[in-house]
Chain A
């Protein structure tokens, strides 16, 4: 299944009320590579992510007006697994780190413990595994029962990634995961993305072209709710065909 299409998006149109946020979006997101979703603010990048793990329907007035998203060949909206299982399989990391009001270890176990009953030994194993995975274990192993909110912002974001990974998702969607972070924390998260890409497909929304170049091999470039350009990251960011994309790429480069 490696490098097959994980998601197929066909003529997707998403509206908030009467306002069209995404129009005529068609793309394939392959498995096993990092895909970046680029574009200026408000162009519908986050909306696409939400549609992909069925959290769009949690937002009042938001709806898929037309088109279809298929996940492993099956329509996401009528997927037999239902929204809860789908959200477990398709994890998301939000822009702002949002640790839940509980201990560090309970944060990691929040989803995992819901989806399967875990023994105490298995819980410890999961906490250690995923905190290690995000490089947080050494920093917090002596205070696993401390509140997740007591960590620094960068640590909180890595805790949130650990929380999503502990669900063992097949895809990890990341919505500008570094926008609230300092450069050192950003570098840690980017390293993590590169380390993760062999076990989980990553789709990352970013407005930072340099970041897209560092972590992704494919990219989708959105402008005003439409998919303006897609392809290999290197090609899209050096020689785009779309004039609007070219303007942004050369503007930021020059």
Chain B
């Protein structure tokens, strides 16, 4: 056999092995998340019960009956508060790193710090939030303190994706816009943002998913086992992940725990779908 056809045969085999491996990884990648979601939904028939979604926890032990509305409202308002604080800071920071800073060394240094911030385990944020907001600033265990901790959780994620979004806009656009004699603010507002916002949105989705699902940051700073559902900045709230944690760790009610988990997952899914729809609208 001539050497060329041997190497063609080897290449053909390698190609097939590669194809099989890619298929396996693809299937695993689809099976794991869909398996988890299906499992949750299969056990989360409580989700279909309006009194579960719209009621307060009841029963003895508390949570074994009734619903999770205060937890839904608490998680929602914590994330909204966190976003209101984190979004302007993160986008402003990304803009500064991508547009204004001149020294490459300073950019790299800042990026290192921010990436480290994103890598800190969320329980550390929880402890920091407890020590700083709850105790030192005397905010107490409250919606306000928890919202600020979630802002810190979301800040580096949004900042990193926003900076990457800004950097992904070709530099030629910057030159083309500024070459018309407009100032930097016009370029940022009318060209850079419209070009970058869909990618920033993807970062926000990621950050919100991370924040709404973590129990650790809010466990010591915002969450209580039961609240009647009043949402005030200086009062504690219930949240979905901590409620889930209490229900399971105290073995209160497994059907209600699955229901809570399903509500969390379905809520995130709806949020992602809304973000995707918004993004598609932006592309048109």
Contact = CB atoms under 8 A, between A and B. Distances in A.
Interface string B162-193: 00000000101111111111110010001100
Given A84-B181, A114-B181, A167-B181, A102 B176 contact: no
Nearest to B183: A84
Contacts of A101: 191, 194-195
Interface in A65-108: 83-88, 91-92, 94, 96, 98, 100-102
Contacts of B179: 53, 55, 87, 91-92, 94
B172 A94 contact: yes
Interface residues of A, number: 28
A115 B181 contact: yes
Interface string A42-66: 0000000010010100111000000
A146 to B, nearest CB: 11
A110 to B, nearest CB: 6
A158 interface: no
A81 B12 CA distance: 66
Nearest to B173: A98
Contacts of A53: 179
Contact of B181 (A60, A86, A98): A86
A111 interface: yes
B181 A110 contact: no
A71 to B, nearest CB: 14
B176 A98 contact: yes
Contacts of B178: 55, 58, 87
A102 B194 contact: yes
Contact of A94 (B176, B182, B191, B195): B176
B180 A91 contact: yes
A111 B175 contact: no
Contacts of A60: 102
B186 A114 contact: yes
Contacts of B173: 98, 100
A58 B172 contact: no
By secondary structure, the B interface counts as: helix
Interface string B33-70: 00000000000000000000000000000000000000
B175 A110 contact: no
B181 to A, nearest CB: 4
A164 B180 contact: yes
B98 to A, nearest CB: 12
Contact of B175 (A58, A84, A85, A115): A58
A215 interface: no
Contacts of B176: 94, 98, 100, 160
B177 A110 contact: yes
Contact of A163 (B170, B174, B180, B183): B180
A114 B177 CA distance: 11
A94 B176 CA distance: 7
Contact of A100 (B102, B183, B191): B191
A110 B172 contact: no
Contact of B180 (A96, A102, A110): A110
In this complex, which of A58, A96, A101, A102 has the most chain B Cβ atoms within 10 angstroms of its Cβ? A101
A59 B179 CA distance: 12
Interface string A205-233: 00000000000000000000000000000
Given A110-B177, A110-B190, A98 B172 contact: yes
Interface in A109-145: 110-111, 114-115
B180 A111 contact: yes
A229 B3 CA distance: 56
B181 A111 contact: yes
B177 A100 contact: yes
Nearest to B102: A60
Nearest to B180: A111
Nearest to A106: B190
Given A100-B191, A102-B190, A110-B190, A58 B174 contact: yes
In this complex, which of A60, A91, A110, A115 has the most chain B Cβ atoms within 10 angstroms of its Cβ? A110
14 contacts: A53-B179, A55-B175, A60-B102, A87-B178, A87-B179, A94-B179, A100-B173, A100-B194, A102-B194, A110-B180, A110-B190, A111-B180, A114-B180, A114-B186
Given A50-B175, A59-B175, A102-B190, 19 more contacts: A53-B179, A58-B174, A58-B175, A60-B102, A83-B181, A84-B183, A87-B179, A87-B180, A88-B180, A100-B173, A101-B191, A102-B194, A110-B182, A111-B181, A115-B181, A160-B176, A163-B180, A164-B180, A167-B181
Which 3 interchain pairs have the tightest Cβ spacing? A111-B180, A88-B181, A87-B181
